[in-house]
Amino acid sequence: MAENNLLVVSDLHLSEGWNSETGRVSRLESFHYDDAFERFIHHHESIRRSRRYKERPWLLIFNGDLFQFAQVVSLPPEGKELRAVTGVSSYDELPRDVLRYGLGTTPKEAAWKVGRIAAGHPIFFAALGWFLAHGNRIAIIKGNHDPEWFWPEVQERFCREILHAYEEWLIEGGSGPHLMLEDVQKRVRFYPWFYYEPGRIYVEHGHQYDPVNRFRNFLHPVQPHRPNHLDLPWGSFVTQTFLNHLQRGFPYADLDELMKQQLGRAIRQSPVRAAAMGLYYLYLVARATLRELRQRRHAGEWEKFPFSTARNVGLSVLPDAVVRRLIQMGWEPHHRAVERVLRIFARAGAATATMLLQFVGIFQAARAFVDAEYLGMLGWAIMAGGVFLLRRSIQLYFRQQVSRVHYGYEAVPYIRQALGEKYEVPYYVFGHMHRPTLRRLEGGKWFVDSGGWPILIRQQLQRLEEKKLTFVRLPTGHRGAPELLYWDDSGNKAERLVLVEPYQQDLAV
């Protein structure tokens, strides 16, 4: 089979998008580039006729987290539709967690969420249909925010939503080739773990090497005692509960920015509210911990699924021995997972403790001032200032530690070892970290992080800052450094992403 030209994008994080009834966008939505994505698609279809791309079709690889299922929190309308999805007809009959956090992860619930995402992103889905109608293909890899791709019902609903959006687009005046459901199903393929093309490329999302977001069994991520529910990692639980709660107040911000802004504002405006937020966070941590302990009773059952399952989910391109080594590597993380989890909790604990101490110092200094105890006021003020400097030092230390870590980059040596020299490839492409990266490896191989497309807020600037819409492009027959690019929508063209050589090699990623 002739090689395809490759496009790799990662971490788009589509959720509920635009609501046609209100004319507004969900506060939990991170992807606002539907029109830009459409132009991105049309541009690459137009250039594939050029000599460089040899008129060969594109394979567009969504490398994990195409959807953010946990941030689809709307519910089906009461009545027939709600009953078809949840088994009950009224919201009053739903569990409290469903009313508060949205639907769960069963096949019916996840398939309904796909329909809700498609309704909020009609241009995006129509662009995928147009892309497929021109003979191109799509590969979808599961990520930590969209493990629901595991369900066949979700895959089927996705294909139908693409066709529906494309047909609506044609009715409204769009122009493109005819497309049938069978064409969509044939040209869209779902990969449960990674995409591997012999002698060319290995593409994986990379969350399995992140201790907070790794699944016990990513190939078969169901709960043994509840096989219609997915077994989600700790990070997904935090997203569905605490992060969604905070992002309603601060759209587009990541967890660190949310914690800084919400907790900082709460302490300044209402110490009682700050204490309530802290207690709520501790409650969620305790709940997540108890959940983990309960599920550990079934830990052995996650590894009992037949090895034939791995052969039936798109990994047959590699020999059994290689697949076994890769699976074993996924079950036994090589990256000091326990140490890193403890570091995360140490950071959160140190930041919380110093923030509270600083507040106590300010409060006591003010109290001493009112009581005219100026010496005591000076002491408390000095203590508050010292705690503030300590907190800033702790934040700087952990920020430097995080900047050194790239889970995918650290995993590549183990992946190369598992593949062996015979099945080695020149390009290893990852996502998950939202950090566009290009590094040359030993033996002339390359590591690439394709970055992501969601927007975020910078607390220091107090304004929205658009991330560059980065992606990886590999024309057929390409050799040498891979193309790590960004989409310049104003110029309707792809530009090379400028990455400056690091000052120190150990800080390269």
- Within a 13 Å sphere around the CA of 166, how many CA atoms are in the beta-carbon half? 23
Q: Whole-angstrom Cα distance, residue 434 to residue 468?
A: 11
What is the average per-residue pLDDT within 83-96? 94
What is the average per-residue pLDDT within 381-410? 72
Give the model's pLDDT for residue 431: 95
Q: Is pLDDT above 80 for 101?
A: yes
Q: Whole-angstrom Cα distance, residue 233 to residue 72?
A: 18
Between 249 and 200, the more confident residue is 200
Is 471 within 8 Å of 9 (Cβ atoms)? yes
Is 252 within 8 Å of 340 (Cβ atoms)? no
Give the model's pLDDT for residue 452: 85
Task: Give me 508's structure tokens.
Answer: 């390269």
**Computed from CA positions of residues 155, 157, 163, 165, in that sequence, does the dihedral angle turn out positive or negative?**
negative
**Computed from CA positions of residues 269, 272, 273, 277, in that sequence, does the dihedral angle turn out positive or negative?**
positive
What residue spans define the domains of the chain? Answer: 5-205+431-507, 230-304, 339-404
Contacts of 424 (CB under 8 A, 6+ apart): 416, 443, 445
Give the model's pLDDT for residue 484: 96
**pLDDT-derived band of residue 173, with 50, 70 and 90 as boundaries?**
very high
pLDDT digits (tens, 9 = 90+) for 211-228: 778 888 888 899 888 899
Where does 259-373 show beta strands of DSSP type E? none
Round to the nearest angstrom and report the end-to-end CA distance of the chain.
35
**Which pTM does this prediction carry?**
0.83
Task: Give me 257's structure tokens.
Answer: 């920015």
